[in-house]
Structure 1
Amino acid sequence: MQPLCNARIETLRLSEHLQAFYPQIVDDFKLICSAPIRQQASIGGNLVNASPIGDLSVFFLALNAELTLNSPSKKRKISLRNFFKSYKQVDIQIDEWLDEIHFQCPEALRISFEKVCKRTHLDIASVNSAMSLVLHENQFKQIHIAVGGVAAIPLYLHKTSAFLRDKKISLSLLQQALDLAQTEIYPLSIIRHSW
């Protein structure tokens, strides 16, 4: 099997393994570019492009992914959370390439992916978000939240995710989490988003 980072976006969309805990992936990922592009574009290329509204960036941030970077002289691992440095800048050296993407898939894992754009298909996002979680007895045992289009980089919501972890779901808790999330985002003023 080819490494995930070299896989095409369409391969990810049709993955039976991912469909097991994220059945909506087949439909949700139709919102990621056009079908011909999904057949050609690689997952790794989407990540290394480092767009602040990269759909796969927020998806893999929400999966708490770790990357393996390779070079002729060494191999190193880096959390995707730490990979994005600033606008369109990533922590990769001139002689390195993205070799692997790793993430855990506990049996109870559930994922949500949302994208807001001007057109239903073929469009870049105005904003996007992804969340993965594991619930046990109405309590967040694991939760990771990522958003795009609200900062110079695809953004993992560290404080909000940590705040929700190990707490029971309630409307009050979710309102507090929304308030906290507002303190973590730094929307950019981009003309494209105001069309």
Structure 2
Amino acid sequence: MKKFDYYQPQTLKEAFSQMEKLIGRAQYIAGGTDILVRIKQRAIQPEALVSLRGVSTLSHISHNGGSSLGSMTPMRSVERDPVVAQEYPALAKAVSLLANPQVRNVATIGGNLCNAAPSADCAPPLLVMQATLKLQGPGGEREVPIDKFFNGPGENCMEPGEVLTHVHIPEKANHTGMAFLKVGRVAQDIAIVNAAALLVMDKKKCVECRLAVGAVAPVPLRLGNVEKLIDGEEIGPELLDRVSQMVEQAVSPITDVRSTEEYRRIMSGVLIKRAIQQALENID
């Protein structure tokens, strides 16, 4: 592995200042579970890494009219947070299936999103929960809806020098149920397909449906056209079959070392159907 300089600023101001000195030659590092592997593989060769681990303001979870997750919060902390488990069980489930406890102690929610992998497990639940991402750089702050954050495999909308500071999840409505499902070669492997569903119900009628899938398109995908099929309807077997078929037509998977295009396409419909069924069972 090529040698590189390592900096650990204690504030965002220090981090931005350091990056300005190293512009074009350095990258930010969060937990390091992905970027260090890429450096070892020589996929990237930065001259320096600027760690955000020392910036304490990025490692907190707060709950007040929704929840705010600092981007440097370890996945294990998200998994164990009682409010996340109670209010946002789809996210808690997604985090619990990420790799293993040792990795979750180090990996961060910000890193999982900023890597912009189509298979990122946190993306589908945050998409259906309509999370907003707070970005900050030398030029100031801005907020980006999560469905506008991903540009392509490994690409996001952040400008040079910007960092993701917080993930904000809106407070959920009454009578809401949600679910996350994943298919991998083993339970904690990189997803072959993952999916999330969120339903807001009024008795037997669905008044709002949000669906998302991952690993079946260049970016984690919100299924807006499929959602329209469910909004305002009672959910039964025939409707679910139509939804499953429509999902298969909406995705654009590829064949790679983990799976085939055909299997991913079929399983995307299957997982969305199952996620809707589980969300119905989880209505609060």
TM-score (norm 1): 0.89
Q: Which amino acid aligns with 1:115?
A: K
Equivalent position of 2:153 in the other structure: 87
Structure 1 residues 27 and 163 mapped into 2: Cα distance closer, same or farther (>3 Å)? closer
Task: Please identify, of 49-58 and 103-112, the stretch whose mean Cα deviation from structure 2 is larger.
Answer: 103-112
Aligned-partner Cα distance in 1 for 2:222–2:177: 17
Q: 1:9 aligns with which of 51, 75, 79?
A: 75
Give aligned-pair identity as a percent. 26
* Structure 1 unaligned residues grouped into runs of 5+: none
Q: Secondary structure of the residue that 2:208 maps to in structure 1?
A: strand
**1:9: Cα distance to partner?**
0.8
Aligned-partner Cα distance in 1 for 2:119–2:91: 18
Equivalent position of 1:44 in the other structure: 110
Aligned-partner Cα distance in 2 for 1:12–1:165: 30
* Structure 2 unaligned residues grouped into runs of 5+: 1-58, 62-68, 261-284
Q: Which amino acid aligns with 2:242?
A: Q
Task: Please identify, of 109-118 and 46-55, the stretch whose mean Cα deviation from structure 2 is larger.
Answer: 109-118
Tell me if 1:169 matches 2:235. Answer: yes
Indicate conservation of the 8 Å contact 1:21/1:108, yes or no: no
Aligned-partner Cα distance in 1 for 2:237–2:186: 32
The count of aligned residue pairs is: 193
**1:28: Cα distance to partner?**
5.7
Q: Which amino acid aligns with 1:113?
A: F
Indicate conservation of the 8 Å contact 2:89/2:179, yes or no: no
Taking CA–CA contacts closer than 8 Å with sequence separation of 6 or more, which of the two structures ends up with the larger relative contact order?
Answer: 1
Tell me if 1:136 matches 2:194. Answer: no
TM-score (norm 2): 0.63
Aligned-partner Cα distance in 1 for 2:144–2:190: 27
**1:22: Cα distance to partner?**
4.8
Bigger-Rg structure (1/2): 2
Equivalent position of 1:119 in the other structure: 186
Aligned-partner Cα distance in 2 for 1:148–1:91: 18
Q: How large is the Cα RMSD of the aligned pairs?
A: 2.0
Partner deviation per Cα, 1:80-129 (whole Å, 9 max, x = no partner): 111111121111101211112122222432221111111133x1111111
